[in-house]
Structure 1
Amino acid sequence: MVADPTGGTRDRSAGAARTDDPARRATRRHAPRPARPAGPAPVSAWPAIAATVIFAVAFMFIATEKINRVAVVLGAAGLMALLGLVPGSDVFYSHHAGIDWDVIFLLFGMMIIVGVVKQTGVFEFLAIWAAQRSQGRPYRLMALLVGITGLASPFLDNVTTVMLVAPITISVCRRLGISAVPYLIAEVLASNIAGAATLIGDPPNIIIGSRAGLSFNDFLVHMAPITLVMFLAFLVLARFMFRKSFEYHPERFAAVRDMDARAAITDAAMLTRCLVVLVLVMVGFGLHTVTGVDVAVVALLGAGVMVLVTRADSARYLAEVEWPTLTFFLGLFVMVAGLTETGVIEQVGQWATGAIGDSWFAGATSLVFGSAVLGAFFDNIPYTATMAPIVADIASQADPQTGQALWWSFALGADLGGNGTAVAASANIVVLGIAARAGEPISFWQFTRYGIATTVLTTLIAWGYVWLRYFA
């Protein structure tokens, strides 16, 4: 998470229109690329090698799940700190070099909010409603839940979206006697795709918008159209990816069909107060680029107000906090900081950009596919923050329209890379934690095999879009 892009409110729609000028396209395709200025001095090799080895070994243990993933990241983070690969106290105080407390406190605040709202029975109400609307048909239910996720993700942080949808999903699947795992996986994949549509929908977009001076309207014009195409393509892909999990139990649906959903609400007055606070929190999220109030502060304030106005049972809502998930994030941030501080990510980025040559389309291609691959392994938030200055350097050497095309290529790759593995995006890790608590654990490879298929499909679509819109 980063500070809001206060300078990124100008509308570039007029400039975007000039991109279609054939003369400008021809000049852009054939003009030689200016020579890059000399980069920073090479970093010391041994710290970079040590950080890479520690990260790779930890990632292997996370993937094989032979050791608890929280123990793995804490051990790896401690080893990096012991060897001096992360800069001392900066681990606790620096966005760039350590733990991103904005993400931690956003998660904590939303976990409290979800824990309080859960006490009203509204998740059970929505579960019964969803089961009745889908008539118990598994794929129809998935399309309904994924559609709700897709509508919310462009306007809410992905973590917030999945934390609100996941409890409903688990409840409805229990009602119908089916596994919630494929539905939870589909929702988080859909959230990462749909969140790419707007400036505030995905954390990498906030970072990119701030660095490149791109406004909310810029993202709507350039990202929303292709996001819709990718989302629809994912709905079709999900029909085939999860086809073996679509079990229809007519007798279970018959039991749910005649239920009164409203009877599931245990405290209507408390629910009303919760909804008022929740709406205010959502408004705060949407306006944070205007007010300058970070979304983590909004989440914490909303959690505090909700607890006060509802007088909820503290033992019950604190029990809903995913402490292992928060701890996993702490360790993961330090691990990635080790790669950042020793120059590993920057060196990879410079190697990739140095291989571009004189073709701007080759550069855009590298940003789409390279970001999708690297973002799948390094968590796309710190990856985007690290690569943004490198992309800015490349874009500054192009004409303004080509420069924007490179930024959109970077945004698409970073956003879509969040689906690549189970640890590639914050929303993925949160859903794995929720599933484990619900007694339906999702393994690293169970998520990742679906994530890879989704990433390949959507990245190819995104690459085709970049070529057609900006270079063809």
Structure 2
Amino acid sequence: MIAILAVLIFVGAYILIATERIHRTAAALGGAGLMLLIHATDAESAFFAEESAIDWNVIFLLLGMMVIVGVLKPTGVFEYLAIWAARRAKGRPFRLMVLLSVITAVASALLDNVTTVLLIAPVTFVVCERLALPVAPYLIAEVFASNIGGTATLVGDPPNIIIASRAGLTFNDFLIHLAPLVVILMIIFIGMCRVMFRHAFRYDPERAAEVMRLEPRDAIRDRRLLVQGLTVLALVIAAFVLHPVLHYEPSVVALLGAGLLVAISKITAAEAIREVEWPTLVFFMGLFVMVGALVNTGVIGAVSQAAADATEGRLGLAAMVLLFGSGALSAIVDNIPYVATMSPIVAELVPAHGDAGQSLWWALALGADLGGNATAIGASANVVILGIAERNNARISFWQFTRYGLVVAAVTIAACAPYLWLRYL
């Protein structure tokens, strides 16, 4: 009975978020409160349990990186990068989208995708303003690119870390098996951008000429703070990449970096937290509690187990069910608890198929990572971009994002099927 109520509450909250009848933060908090009220979860499960609690690593990673970005913003570094990107693209809108998307995808393979969109979004606002372009299509394209690019490596997307831990896979395993496919997916995605966002590519020769006359270095306003900020950011990025060696969680690294930057600069604490997207952080907390309640009541486990049972020991069918099933579920629930719930089931299926069974891990990773593009709440980076856009008066609605996301997720996941079949099955 509680499981049924939990599903109804989640569906109700999801409808409110999708229809935007009330603010998504209020919907998520209301849904979380109701889950606690009906005992679908409790304080221990909501705040401390490994599989069903708020993912504090995500929350504090976001907080730390938002502080670092907030400190860097007054230096003019984002204006510098925007002018550089616009000049490289010669003011051509589509060329600019390709450049920003490729940069985002590559960065997301080395960092997590949330950190990447936090860094690239300020640049996008500036360059679109300079060229009189609508910013929403560029932000949406970048978040799609971040989720695709993050699929390529162990550190690019949190579900990959969970899979690597459970399966004993290394950083190089992800590079060898997934990075070649991600390159193909990015080529497909860029071609899709040309069609999906064609109305946004309004070339203004006068604006382009103005940008070409600008010198990027003239945008820098505080060189000392810039050096301090970039030094700390470089240390943070290095620590992210060296996670397998250092064993510091990205959230710890981000908080240490934020604290160090505030300590060594003349920025006050109030100024440092001014750019923090508090509604976004609170929305994540509510969403994590709701999804955790579905984990607690066995809803996600039952769905995952049913998918595994339906394959009846056939490897090819199991891989396809995992790929498309994970993509569908990751579109509506956060992929971190989903993968945490599904990975033990996959671990039981893999040995029965010998070496070829490893393909099931790649199917799970691809479905969970790429399925996050489907809806506005399918991945953490999506929610962050919506929050940043709203804060900067460039609001992106749930359906504006999702109508593109569903197409991108469907095409990229479908493109993975022949890759998995030909390479492993």
The TM-score, its normalising length taken from structure 2, stands at 0.98
Of 407, 419, 422, which aligns to 1:465? 419
CA distance in structure 2 between the partners assigned to 1:65 and 1:87 by the alignment: 28
Q: Does 1:379 align with 2:331?
A: no
Of 180, 194, 212, which aligns to 1:225? 180
Deviations 1:193-228 (A, max 9, x none): 011111111111001000111011111111111111
Amino acid at match of 1:448: T
Following superposition, the deviation at residue 268 of structure 1 comes to: 1.0
CA distance in structure 1 between the partners assigned to 2:337 and 2:313 by the alignment: 28
Partners of 1:422 and 1:447 within 8 A in 2: yes
> Which residue number in structure 2 is paired with residue 451 of structure 1?
405
Following superposition, the deviation at residue 154 of structure 1 comes to: 0.6
CA distance in structure 2 between the partners assigned to 1:331 and 1:283 by the alignment: 31
Q: Does 1:438 align with 2:403?
A: no
> Alignment partner of 1:96: what SS?
coil
Amino acid at match of 1:262: R
> Which residue number in structure 1 is paired with residue 204 of structure 2?
249
Following superposition, the deviation at residue 315 of structure 1 comes to: 3.0
CA distance in structure 2 between the partners assigned to 1:102 and 1:232 by the alignment: 32
Query: After the TM superposition, which of the residue ranges 241-250 and 158-167 deviates more from structure 2?
Result: 241-250
Of 77, 94, 104, which aligns to 2:32? 77
Q: Which runs of 5+ in 1 are unaligned?
A: 1-45
CA distance in structure 1 between the partners assigned to 2:351 and 2:16 by the alignment: 40
Partners of 1:177 and 1:252 within 8 A in 2: yes
Q: Does 1:415 align with 2:359?
A: no
Q: Cα RMSD over matched residues? A: 1.0
Amino acid at match of 1:345: I
Deviations 1:404-431 (A, max 9, x none): 1111111111111110111011000000
Amino acid at match of 1:181: A
CA distance in structure 1 between the partners assigned to 2:174 and 2:47 by the alignment: 33
> Which residue number in structure 2 is paired with residue 190 of structure 1?
145
Following superposition, the deviation at residue 398 of structure 1 comes to: 2.2
CA distance in structure 2 between the partners assigned to 1:101 and 1:95 by the alignment: 10
> Which residue number in structure 2 is paired with residue 427 of structure 1?
381
Of 84, 93, 105, which aligns to 1:150? 105
Q: Does 1:160 align with 2:128?
A: no
Between Structure 1 and Structure 2, how many residues are aligned?
A: 425
CA distance in structure 2 between the partners assigned to 1:459 and 1:382 by the alignment: 20
> Which residue number in structure 2 is paired with residue 103 of structure 1?
58
> Which residue number in structure 1 is paired with residue 195 of structure 2?
240
Q: What pairs with 1:286-301 in structure 2 (closer than 5 Å)?
A: 286-301=241-256
Partners of 2:389 and 2:395 within 8 A in 1: yes
Amino acid at match of 1:360: L
Following superposition, the deviation at residue 379 of structure 1 comes to: 1.3
Regions of 4+ moved over 4 Å: none
Following superposition, the deviation at residue 288 of structure 1 comes to: 1.2
Following superposition, the deviation at residue 403 of structure 1 comes to: 2.0
CA distance in structure 1 between the partners assigned to 2:371 and 2:80 by the alignment: 34
CA distance in structure 1 between the partners assigned to 2:249 and 2:174 by the alignment: 20
Q: Does 1:334 align with 2:289?
A: yes
The TM-score, its normalising length taken from structure 1, stands at 0.89
CA distance in structure 2 between the partners assigned to 1:215 and 1:224 by the alignment: 13
Q: Is the radius of gyration larger for structure 1 or structure 2?
A: 1
Q: What pairs with 1:108-119 in structure 2 (closer than 5 Å)?
A: 108-119=63-74
CA distance in structure 1 between the partners assigned to 2:409 and 2:328 by the alignment: 9
> Alignment partner of 2:313: what SS?
coil
> Alignment partner of 1:455: what SS?
helix
Partners of 1:381 and 1:425 within 8 A in 2: no
Q: What pairs with 1:393-412 in structure 2 (closer than 5 Å)?
A: 393-399=348-354, 401-412=355-366
Partners of 1:87 and 1:97 within 8 A in 2: no
Of 166, 169, 173, which aligns to 1:211? 166
CA distance in structure 2 between the partners assigned to 1:167 and 1:88 by the alignment: 37
CA distance in structure 2 between the partners assigned to 1:269 and 1:139 by the alignment: 35
CA distance in structure 1 between the partners assigned to 2:80 and 2:271 by the alignment: 19
Following superposition, the deviation at residue 397 of structure 1 comes to: 2.5
Q: Which runs of 5+ in 2 are unaligned?
A: none
Following superposition, the deviation at residue 191 of structure 1 comes to: 0.6
Amino acid at match of 2:316: F
Q: Does 1:68 align with 2:10?
A: no
CA distance in structure 1 between the partners assigned to 2:269 and 2:76 by the alignment: 16
Following superposition, the deviation at residue 97 of structure 1 comes to: 2.1
Partners of 1:124 and 1:168 within 8 A in 2: yes
Following superposition, the deviation at residue 314 of structure 1 comes to: 3.2
CA distance in structure 1 between the partners assigned to 2:172 and 2:357 by the alignment: 17
Following superposition, the deviation at residue 98 of structure 1 comes to: 1.6
